[in-house]
């Protein structure tokens, strides 16, 4: 039994202030799957959706301890939360994970395609391995998970698909052709799928973060980070919770007439 399994899940009868708080939980009764949920933007999104009352299925690939930590934090918000390990780039693995989630949760209403990687090199130095690796996770991984989840949303006539794109998919970026292409591809994926399922009660949108303070940007050289801050009107990197807030908004019933859109959250870096 994992440490997470030992966290008690029993719900006590709600006190009156608690009942009032719960009345404001816009995602009460909804079930969400967040890929790459163990850290960074994924972790912040898990907690934002759980705070809003959604039950959360948290996918992770390798960081078991970090994943258990976010799962425990979600359960403290009195929602059903569990961990599902899978490499989303592998179709059979993604399908196995979705089967396990559907068995346990019964269905997924909100899918946040967050998992993503960078493998930076300039085009002249980039071999096929780095090109393939990034496209397989960022683009094909999103295809794999969405392909397995979407039929249930269409059947129930309600769903939210939210993809983590990037400013880099809108502007290009030196040394990131594989990543930029994957994120530009996700924007096209978002618009196309939005058109296909708009009449089935499912919205499909993307959030395009600027540069956010996570493990992904911690690997950037000091000088590059300083240049990014200088090019950002707000003069700072974004925080994961600032991205999670945008994802949460798109997941709510209030965002019901928004589909096929890319919501930039970038401190004014690209406008
Ligand atoms: P991160 O590197 O901290 O987290 C990425 C997560 O994806 C990790 O939990 C990792 O285990 C998971 N992941 C990677 N490959 C996977 C696979 N094959 N299967 C399952 N999970 C996998 O990155 P961060 O910054 O939190 O990024 C989250 C998303 O936001 C990514 O899609 C990223 O491209 C995007 N983004 C991030 C920006 C930033 O400045 N940090 C800017 C723009 C977009």
**What integer pLDDT is reported at residue 33 of this predicted model?**
99
Please list every protein residue whose CB sits less than 6 Å from any atom of ligand 1: 35-36, 38-42, 59-63, 87-89, 114-117, 137, 141, 164, 166, 209, 211-212, 214-217
**Which atom number of ligand 1 is nearest to the Cα of residue 37?**
9
Q: Kindly report the protein residue whose alpha carbon is nearest to atom 2 of ligand 1.
A: 216
Nearest protein Cα to ligand 1, atom 23: 216
Under 8 Å between Cβ of 270 and 210: yes
Instruction: Tell which atom from ligand 1 comes closest to the C-alpha of 116.
Output: 32
| Tens digit of each residue's pLDDT, the chain (271 residues) | 344 544 444 455 556 666 666 667 999 999 999 999 999 999 999 999 999 999 999 999 998 999 999 999 999 999 999 999 999 999 999 999 999 999 999 999 999 999 999 999 999 999 999 999 999 999 999 999 999 999 999 999 999 999 999 999 999 999 999 999 999 999 999 999 999 999 999 999 999 999 999 999 998 889 999 999 999 999 999 999 999 999 999 999 999 999 999 999 999 999 9
pLDDT of residue 12: 53
Spacing, Cα 88 to ligand 1 middle (Å): 12
The answer to whether 139 and 185 have CB atoms below 8 angstroms apart is: yes
CATH of domain 25-213+240-265: 3.40.50.720
The catalytic residue positions are 179
Rounded to the nearest angstrom, the distance between the alpha carbon of 235 and the centre of ligand 1 is 23
The dihedral over CA atoms of 245, 251, 253, 258, expressed in degrees to the nearest 10, equals 100
> In terms of C-beta density within 10 A (0-12 exposed, 13-18 middle, 19 or more buried), how is residue 159 classed?
buried
pLDDT (0 to 100) of residue 2: 46
């Amino acid at each position: 039994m994992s440490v997470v399994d030992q966290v008690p899940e029993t719900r006590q009868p709600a006190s009156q202030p608690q009942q009032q708080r719960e009345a404001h939980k816009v995602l009460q009764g909804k079930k969400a799957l967040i890929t790459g949920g163990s850290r960074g933007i994924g972790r912040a999104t898990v907690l934002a959706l759980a705070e809003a009352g959604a039950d959360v299925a948290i996918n992770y690939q390798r960081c078991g301890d970090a994943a258990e930590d976010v799962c425990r934090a979600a359960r403290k918000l009195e929602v059903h939360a569990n961990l599902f390990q899978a490499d989303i780039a592998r179709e059979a693995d993604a399908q196995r994970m979705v089967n396990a989630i559907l068995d346990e949760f019964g269905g997924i209403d909100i899918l946040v395609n967050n998992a993503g990687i960078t493998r930076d090199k300039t085009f002249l130095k980039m071999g096929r391995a780095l090109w393939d690796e990034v496209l397989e996770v960022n683009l094909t991984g999103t295809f794999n998970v969405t392909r397995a989840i979407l039929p249930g949303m269409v059947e129930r006539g309600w769903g939210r698909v939210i993809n983590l794109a990037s400013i880099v998919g809108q502007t290009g970026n030196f040394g990131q052709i594989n990543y930029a292409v994957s994120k530009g591809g996700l924007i096209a994926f978002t618009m196309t799928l939005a058109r296909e399922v708009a009449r089935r009660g499912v919205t499909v949108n993307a959030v395009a973060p600027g540069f956010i303070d996570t493990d992904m940007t911690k690997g950037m050289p000091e000088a590059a980070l300083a240049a990014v801050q200088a090019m950002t009107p707000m003069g700072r990197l974004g925080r994961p919770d600032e991205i999670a807030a945008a994802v949460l908004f798109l997941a709510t019933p209030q965002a019901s007439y928004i589909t096929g859109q890319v919501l930039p959250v970038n401190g004014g870096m690209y406008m």
